[in-house]
Amino acid sequence: MYAGKDSSRRMLYILFIGAITTLSITSTNAGKYMKCTEGFQSSDGGWSMGTGKAECSTGSGAYVCDINSCGSGSPKGIRDLKQSVFHSCSRDLYATGNLMIHVLSYEINYQSLIVHGKLNPGDRNVIEVYCQNTPENQIYMAECDESACS
């Protein structure tokens, strides 16, 4: 009679430990973002990534991500991707400019950022400009949730 109670308690104990383990693993992996330090390419920026996809290039590789899992870095944390803005941009590769560009895609070329974006968010035309790879611009580089990338 007591043997039945002990096995029931053990089973509950095992289930409880399993549930706690599952929850801790899930919360550990949730919300880990990777910064796209080498490039970010989307179909809006002229790349053929496929609908709803973007490529996030980090120092350790390139990952295809769900674009809805990506956002713009900022001093106050991750914001909507449409808030990604680079400063000190120019239409000339070798000049420091005063353009501010709303970023759709970018890639690193030595110390310059080759950027596809818009001067104003409502513009129809996407233009290519060159921005300095400054700490200020690095703050606003795209970040994607690792769990939505492969």
Do 64 and 16 share a domain, yes or no? no
Which pLDDT score, from 0 to 100, does residue 28 have?
44
- Tell me which residues of the chain have a pLDDT lower than 50: 15, 18-29
67: nearest Cα among 5, 4, 148: 148
Whether residue 59 is found in the same domain as residue 111: yes
How many domains does the chain contain in total?
2
| pLDDT on residue 147 | 97
Tell me which H or E stretch contains 114: strand 112-118
Q: What pLDDT shows up at residue 116?
A: 96
* Domain hosting residue 83, numbered range: 34-148
Distance CA 135, CA 93 (A): 18
> Rounded to the nearest 5°, which phi and psi values hold at 104?
-110, -40
pLDDT at position 93, please? 87
Residues 10 and 71 in one domain: no
Determine the pLDDT at residue 140. Answer: 96
Same domain? For 81 and 101 the reply is: yes
3-state secondary structure of 6: helix
pLDDT of amino acid 127: 96
Residue 25 confidence (pLDDT): 41
What does the pLDDT look like over 100-114, one tens digit per residue? 999 999 999 888 999
Predicted pLDDT at 11: 55
- Indicate if 17 and 42 belong to the same structural domain: no
Same domain, 128 and 55: yes
